[in-house]
Structure 1
Amino acid sequence: MQSTDLRLRLPDRMQLPVPRPESELDFHREELLSWHVDPETERVRFLSLIVGDREAVRDVAGDLEVVHQFELTPVDEDTFYAYAVMDLRAADATLMGAFDEPGLVIVPPIVYTGRETVHVTILGEPDALARLLEGVPDDVGVEVERVSDHQRSAETLAGRLTARQFEAMETARELGYYDVPRSGALAEVATELGCSESTASSLLRTVESKLVDAALGR
């Protein structure tokens, strides 16, 4: 059995109408762990694990007309579970329908790293995977990151890293610290994070250690 990792870029019509700039939300990552669509009520219930500002996320959810129920359960200072019941929008149904094909299975979690960026793993027979992109709406950007035998660990990443560690990792990646060859210096990462080089180095070493453990299933 094979699987593929996809990075999706959602158009405006598929993004939640969040009434504030993303920069003010202090949101780092959402892992959609489980979901159920009720065809009778045309609502979707889902459970997510989120890294970010708990109160900011709560406020945003409360402002959305499509959300009918929203409950948070803290894990630690900046990681929490979110249970929600919301209307199934036509745009959501269109996107989900692209993967609702014989021979394909979505492998949780579906990972959101921003309003428009979604990472999803699809498991399936080779022929079904080969036809997969034909069902994706034309205005959704798709990048195929991997196609191989399925070996993905079931443990989520959000449970391993804190929001500060995610921020350090994202900053280092954006500045070229992980480019090969490296194009960004540790000093630049530290400046962007507003901390010393030793603190930035410690954050990144911790991230790298946890990612290695995750990759090895430890």
Structure 2
Amino acid sequence: MQSVRLRLGLPEPYVHPMHAFVADTPGFRETRLRHWNPAVGERNTLVFFVDGDDRAAYTEALVEQPSILEYEVAPAAGRRGFHLAVTEDQRSADARLTAAFLGTGVVVVPPIVYRADRLIDVSLVGTGEELTAALEGLPDEIDIDVERVRPYDGRLADPTAALTPRQRAALDVAVEVGYYASPREATLDAVADELGCAPGTAAEHLRKAEATVLGRIVDSVPGART
């Protein structure tokens, strides 16, 4: 089973109007499609995170789209941007895109990132034959850049999978005693006491665990490094 990251360049008819709005409007950076209803059809419900500063301007543009049937916007506490849930009639251009993945056996792994340069980052998981069939099924006018191919290891689903037992224990203890709380509720000495080791050893376990987990998270999210 393979994991493939793609960057798609779409000609104008395929670019969703709200993707174009984000790309063309100052103060907006990208949109991430995080969840969607499993049965893709003529009418779909989708959940996005919009990395943008002007929620009112976005919703004004949203209500002008005839394909949007319902929507709800929610603030993102503690960070810029906002959450968006929409119910939409599928546009014919979107149907041609999704048709490439239906019935092939591939799994589209969220998030799908709609970038400010109008490109789309998407990750797929499947067998070599399934992935080949999906790519060959995309419309010919779409530019496909294969960013990465590697064996699937579930790193986004479980970023702690590569930790050693001691590193995992150190993280568990640090979280439990409040070492990562804000404000911090425990010192490194407290973590070391729970682990039964020296503070320097506890610090080394945590440093390696943090590097592994954060590296896997960033590497697994399309567009995170660009």
Same fold per superposition (TM over 0.5): yes
The equivalences for 1:13-162 within 5 A come to: 13-17=13-17, 22-36=23-37, 39=41, 42-53=42-53, 54-76=55-77, 78-114=80-116, 116-151=118-153, 152-154=155-157
Q: 2:104 touches 2:134 (CA, 8 Å); kept in 1?
A: no
- List structure 1 runs of 4+ shifted beyond 6 angstroms: none
3-12 or 53-62, larger mean C-alpha shift: 53-62
Shift of 1:28: 1.0
- CA change 1:56–1:13 in 2 (3 A) is same
Query: C-alpha distance in 1, partners of 2:81/2:100?
Result: 30
User: Structure 2 regions of 5+ residues with no counterpart?
Assistant: 159-209, 219-226
Letter in 1 for 2:28: F
The CA deviation at 1:131 is 2.8
Could you say which residue in structure 2 is the equivalent of 1:196? none
Q: CA offset at residue 109 of structure 1?
A: 1.0
Distance (whole Å) between structure 1 residues aligned to residue 40 and residue 129 of structure 2: 30
Query: In the alignment, residue 106 of structure 2 is paired with which amino acid?
Result: L
Matched-pair contact (CA < 8 Å) for 2:22–2:28? no
The TM-score, its normalising length taken from structure 1, stands at: 0.65
Give, in whole Å, the separation in 2 of the partners of 1:142 and 1:216.
Answer: 24
What's the secondary structure of 1:111's corresponding residue? Answer: strand
* CA offsets 1:48-67 (integer angstroms, 9 cap, x no match): 11211222221211121211
What is the aligned length? 162
Cα RMSD, aligned residues only: 2.7
1:131 aligned counterpart, secondary structure: helix
1:91 Cα shift? Answer: 0.7
Give the structure with higher Rg (CA): 2
Find the counterpart in structure 2 of residue 179 from structure 1: none
TM-score normalised by length of structure 2: 0.63
* Aligned sequence identity (%): 31
Deviation at 1:6, TM superposition (A): 0.3
